[in-house]
Amino acid sequence: MLAIVLLLALPFCTAESASSYAGSTVVNSYPPPGATNTAVDTYFPDASQVGYAGPSPTGAEPAAIVTAVPFSKVEGVFPLSRPNSADGADTTFNVMRHWGNFAPMYSVESFGLPDASPVIPERCGLNGVHLLMRHGARYPASDEPGPSQFASEIHAATSKKALSVTGDLKFLATWTYKLATTSLTPFGRESMFSNGVAFRYRYGELLNAFTDHLPVFRTTSIDRMVDAALTFAAGFFDVRTYETDYHQEIIIQENNFNNTLAPCEACPNANSEDIGNFGDTQSSKWANAYLQDARRRLQPMIQGVNLTISLLVGMQELCALETVALGYSKFCDLFTEEEWEGYEYYAVTNDLIVNKDFWYTCGPGNPTGAAQGLGYVQELVSRLTHTPINVWNSSTNGTLDSSNITFPLDQPIYVDFTHGVGIASVVTALNFTSLAATGPLPTDHIPPHRSYISSQIAPFSSQLVAQVLSCPASEEPTHIRFLLNDAVVPLTGIHGCTEDSNGLCALPSFISGMHERIGQIDFAHDCFANYTMPNPNNIIDGRYPS
């Protein structure tokens, strides 16, 4: 396996002795210190040393995306326990689908093309596929203080002997904080592996087109990103041979390093107090609106801790993050269906309290949204046209993207791993206008039938897939279309792409429209110019208003 750059791994938590205080942090590390004994390794030879493997012929590569009707949609979250809401009489209400960017990926029904199927149209042939995928479920990131802040408040009150809890909050008397930081959870690893298997079933036949070199897949150097890429590859290829079946490119993710899979690092305005953190202001307004009833209901059940709005948001985050980490959470059924709908909307507009994501930070409502996704779109056009990039005016990496070894242009399968912000910014740069149709987003109510829903756009394991097709089937590609979490996305926001019930756009028209869109995005200005946040009501395509 080819690693292009060194991995910058994050330190893993070491074991700590558990405190008896409620809310205390309990962290374990496996394997335990001193448990590894290499002296006994000779007693456990690997399969190649043991031998006697028996015959293992392989069959033909699958291509389920061409033939599988009806299409099997992603629904299950095994082995997680499905939570209930506080008023969980409606068994059809799925709390998990209201966790925003903390939701596990599920197959979206439609983004405006209800009759379109993920399976390619019958008259078409599959020529290539481009996958941009978010990593699987993880523990809280270091810039997500909500869950740990809540634990600290409970711990402090307990240590002062001031904590008293009753009713639905009685469990807090013995509750401890058990979440690590940033790495993939067991469910996150399982999701990446199973998605690798599913991608092989859907697109494996394209491997037959590799003749003289191995595929190059890309990810960033952050620990969970590397783990996500390798686990996906183990599912897509073979758990014993995947290291020799492809090349894994690992691109440094750090400030001042260009990386289209972590574009926020190359766009200073995306991290500025006024522009990058604008979503914090908007989401705080909404949180103060939708959580007042919860505060009045839950505060009488706890003494010694003032349940502020930010702590209540932290409790909702704990529901999601404990469930994907531990399998269940008692925080989930503290909130009503309406409050979970409020949290879902909060996750669209928010910034700092949960994550730097979505409408007002990396999406259509921020003037840097399209600029952040520009680099990947330039790479996509380069791959589609088999033309090397020769203009370096975005987050593209001039060292890696100028080499046909690290940035090949002749692959039938491309797989790139990114963050939630990456998905949000790329769909903005691609100008998927159907997602922004009901924006800008108000902060005092949830608009009916809104088009921008974060759990549908960038949940854990989110997948943006570009299918390159020939219609009718032939050796030369003629059309392209996009699937976002299994739902076909209309391309009518791209100049030259006309309405089509299957979401198809003629490939020359798409490429021409993308060249036009690329020319409209001013990366230098939007990411580096000294300006204040414009009126958010004037931004719906991720660009500074002209």
Predicted pLDDT of residue 186: 96
Helices 309-326 & 337-349 angle (0-180, nearest 10)? 100
The mean pLDDT value for 103-126 works out to 95
14-23, 233-242, 404-413: lowest mean pLDDT where? 14-23
The mean pLDDT value for 457-479 works out to 96
Q: What is the pTM of this model?
A: 0.91
C-alpha distances out from residue 4 to 1, 218, 364, 402, Å: 10, 10, 33, 14
Domain boundaries, the chain: 95-116+127-159+182-438+452-533
Q: Identify which has the larger pLDDT, 143 or 237.
A: 237
* Cα–Cα dist 377/464, whole Å: 12
Q: Identify which has the larger pLDDT, 73 or 233.
A: 233
Please answer whether residues 136 and 460 qualify as being in contact, where contact means their C-beta atoms are separated by less than 8 angstroms.
Answer: yes
DSSP reduced 3-state for 62: coil
pLDDT digits (tens, 9 = 90+) for 496-515: 999 999 999 999 999 999 99
The DSSP H or E segment spanning 408 is none
Domain over 95-116+127-159+182-438+452-533 is classified CATH 3.40.50.1240 = yes
The contacts of residue 284 (CB under 8 Å, 6+ apart) are 309, 353
53-62, 93-102, 218-227: lowest mean pLDDT where? 53-62
* Cα–Cα dist 289/443, whole Å: 8
Query: Hey, which bits of 375-513 come out as E strands?
Result: 413-418, 463-470, 479-484, 487-489, 505-506
Predicted pLDDT of residue 173: 96
* Cα–Cα dist 161/154, whole Å: 10
Sign of CA dihedral 498, 500, 503, 507: negative
| Banded pLDDT at 55 (limits 50, 70, 90) | confident
481 bridge partner residues: 467
